[in-house]
Amino acid sequence: MVEAGRVAVLLGGRSAEREISLLSGQGVLAALRSRGVDAMAFDPAERPLDDLTRERVQRVFIALHGRHGEDGTVQGALELLGIPYTGSGVMASAIGIDKCTTKRIWMSHGLPTPAFRIARTEAGVREAAQALGLPMAVKPAREGSSLGFTRMTDPAQATQAFELASRHDGEVLCEQFIIGRELTVAILGQGESAQALPVIEIVAPAGNYDYTNKYFTDDTRYDCPAALPEAVTRRVGEVALQAFKAVGCEGWGRVDIMLRESDAQPFLLEVNTSPGMTSHSLVPMAARAVGLSYEDLCLHLLAGATLKTGGSA
């Protein structure tokens, strides 16, 4: 058992992913308690964060997703409160939630990611389609769980695609759509000790891995480990690790990748610095493939809780 003292599992929050965060947090809470950890649920949407000090919390497990949980804001508050927490720090969290900034960093490191444009109007989406070609992915620049996503295959979809994405963010990412296999790689650790877990292939109905197919149906198939040639598996894992490190991520995360059908070239889509921990989530699935149970995974992540500005648990 991790000697963690009083632990708060942050769950819920105010983002569009609140529902999924509640599921993640409840799973983590049950897992920690089952291993004897003195853990409590803490919803920042219902209580001020400084209540953590009143509760004498000594570590925090962040099970928040999206804005005000995965974007560096909570991480910064915890740094000020002096409470060690799981996952990446302020900078990496803020970068990771912003898909455009993440892609720019990857490009500066010579890592493969689809070409993109940023649109702030419907006309901008149309211009991006002309520049990038169709099909094209249209999505909010700072959102997760495939919220606001459209696979645009016809210029007539520009209005609807922009309206859907802009509900979540004023900046809309228009990205070259890579035809191929959808993969994801979970990563544990940091720096030179970071390790990629087995590659997972996601096979969604009609290739539509949307919010519903991610969390609330059993129609999506997950192949773990993915049925890929050894050299491709190794290359995908290496690219995912490089992507994780380039953003400065710590503790754990998940990197989403498209493997181009024509030549098996991996293209980086995004990094998740606070991935889901629900019954349908992919990091626990990858951990199980290497013999790490959900409960042990939660303990492992909690043991890595730190302050990123020089403090430690």
Its pTM stands at: 0.92
Host domain of residue 80: 7-87
Q: What is the secondary structure of 75-138 as a DSSP string?
A: HHHHHHHT--BSS--HHHHHHHH-HHHHHHHHHHTT-----EEEESSHHHHHHHHHHH-SSEEE
pLDDT at 311: 43
The question of whether 98 is a catalytic residue gets the answer no
The question of whether 276 is a catalytic residue gets the answer yes
pLDDT at 312: 40
Same domain, 50 and 64: yes
pLDDT in tens, 138-166: 999 998 757 899 999 999 999 999 999 99
Question: How many domains in the chain?
Answer: 3
Across the range 215-232, mean pLDDT stands at 88
Same domain, 236 and 279: yes
The question of whether 209 is a catalytic residue gets the answer no
pLDDT in tens, 162-194: 999 999 999 999 999 999 999 999 999 998 899
Answer whether 247's CB lies under 8 Å from 108's CB.
no
Across the range 58-80, mean pLDDT stands at 96
Same domain, 239 and 100: yes
Question: Which of the following is catalytic: 98, 175, 256, 295?
Answer: 256
Is 191 within a domain? yes
Question: Which of the following is catalytic: 24, 93, 272, 281?
Answer: 272
Same domain, 162 and 255: no
Q: Classify residue 106 by burial, with Cβ atoms within 10 Å: 0-12, 13-18, 19+.
A: buried
